[in-house]
Amino acid sequence: METFSQKVYAVVRRIPRGTVATYGQVAALAGAPRNARFVGFALHANPEPGVIPCHRVVFRDGSLAPGFAFGGPERQRTLLEEEGVVFVPPADGVNAGAGGWRVDLERCLWRA
């Protein structure tokens, strides 16, 4: 029987280069739509960094996790930009993500 973490890794492996998924989206696709927080726990323990592309998972507003386990949010942003993921500045008065920038979900959200 597959564990929840194994299901998460299987979903994240399917996220195409140049797109992102949200923690909630990954949780739903792994069969547990209310477990977005546990997706984060699973990805923090990613057994195959670089193989399982956990950098492609972002918050529902497109912001990056401040505790990205494999180099911090700036490293996550660099990895995403290298794949062609587009970032947008924050709306006035909104604090989102590293430096306030967030992924343009209109253009880059994975349509699983």
pTM above 0.85, yes or no: yes
Task: For residues 9-36, give the mean pLDDT.
Answer: 97
- Residue 86 has what pLDDT? 97
Q: First and final CA of the chain: distance in angstroms? A: 24
Closest CA to 64 of 42, 36, 96, 97: 97
Contact in structure between 66 and 49 (CB atoms under 8 Å): no
* Whole-number average pLDDT of the chain: 90
- Residue 16 has what pLDDT? 98
The single residue listed with the structure tokens 């993500």 is 97
- Residue 101 has what pLDDT? 86
pLDDT grade, residue 50 (50/70/90)? Answer: confident
Closest CA to 38 of 88, 70, 3: 3
* Annotation marks residue 54 as catalytic: yes
Question: Rounded to 5 degrees, what are φ and ψ at 12?
Answer: -65, -35
pLDDT grade, residue 72 (50/70/90)? Answer: confident
Identified catalytic residue from 26, 36, 54, 98: 54
3-state SS of 30-77 is CCCCCCHHHHHHHHHCCCCECCECHHHEECCCCCCCCCCCCCHHHHHH
Closest CA to 110 of 13, 6, 22: 22
